[in-house]
Amino acid sequence: MNATIQDVRTTKSELKLTLKNSIAFLALLFMMHEAHEIAHTAIGRLLCGCWGERDFNVWGLCNTCAVSQDLGFIATLAGPLFSFLMMWWGASLLKNTNTTSQKSIGYALIFANMPFARLLTAIAMGGGDEVYTLKHFMENDTLAWIIGSIIILCICIYPLYKAYTAISKRRLLWFLLFFIAPTFIDVLIVLGGMNTLLTNGVLDTYWILGSPILVTVWTAIVILLFTLSRKHIYTLLR
């Protein structure tokens, strides 16, 4: 194990933010956002045989896609399925017998996949991939909203519980910060800033994977940033 990674086993941990592990977490957050969107378009590519176009949060199947609309919803569900799997992987790393280094990446994975955004979009706004899919297959939009919200809540509750109980000091404060702040940071920087640049024509030529050049450049930057800073994510919990 890398010498910078802690190898301490403890029942409860203390969370300590530094500039370095904050940068690592933000890089992971943006990387998970891109992975979520690529999960959509990659499954669309497998279904259709061609890449659909996308920006930083809106995507579609390619215009020549021959699969039925019902089958196309597999691509819609691929994004949240990826995010939920990452959250549960994170929860699995929060076992009491694990080192603080393992718990740190577990804690980060849960919140970098923005459970607050998934819950807010479904419960408060009646939207999101999960509810949108249910509305397509059900005649009653209200019932689809209720069922979708319950499903998302049930999926997120265990990872959130594990994250809440993982630390001992200032537990509620840290939980609320990591639960809520990543969504607003992502909305401000990615959905607001990056999409605005794209709308204004900055590197908006479509290139590989159905993405504009700006999306590809951003993806490469956040991957590089996380690669350079990843050792600091292991210091999140102590």
SS3 150: helix
pLDDT grade for 70, boundaries at 50, 70 and 90? confident
| Rounded distance between C-alpha atoms, residue 206 and residue 43, angstroms | 19
The whole-number pLDDT of residue 2 equals 46
Query: What is the tens place of the pLDDT at every residue in 169-179?
Result: 899 999 999 99
Termini Cα distance of the chain: 17
Give me the long-range contacts of 151-156 (CB less than 8 A, separation at least 24). 152/80, 152/118, 152/119, 152/122, 152/123, 152/128, 153/119, 153/123, 155/84, 155/87, 156/84, 156/87, 156/115, 156/118, 156/119
User: What is the per-residue pLDDT for 23?
Assistant: 98
pLDDT band at 30 (very low <50, low <70, confident <90, very high): very high
The pLDDT, as a whole number, for residue 13 is 83
% pLDDT > 70, the chain:
95
Q: pLDDT at position 156, please?
A: 98
With a CB cutoff of 8 Å and minimum separation 6, the contacts of 225 are 23, 27
Residue 157 has pLDDT above 70, yes or no: yes
Phi and psi at residue 13, to the nearest 5°: -125, 160
pLDDT of residue 6: 46
What is the per-residue pLDDT for 138?
A: 93
The per-residue pLDDT for range 71-123, each reduced to its tens digit, is: 999 999 999 999 999 999 999 999 999 999 999 999 999 999 999 999 999 99
> Do 39 and 85 contact (CB within 8 A), yes or no?
no
| pLDDT of res. 10 | 52
* pLDDT tens profile 47-57: 999 999 999 99
pTM of the model: 0.92
Q: Is the pLDDT reported for residue 1 higher than 70?
A: no
Predicted local confidence at residue 85, as pLDDT? 98
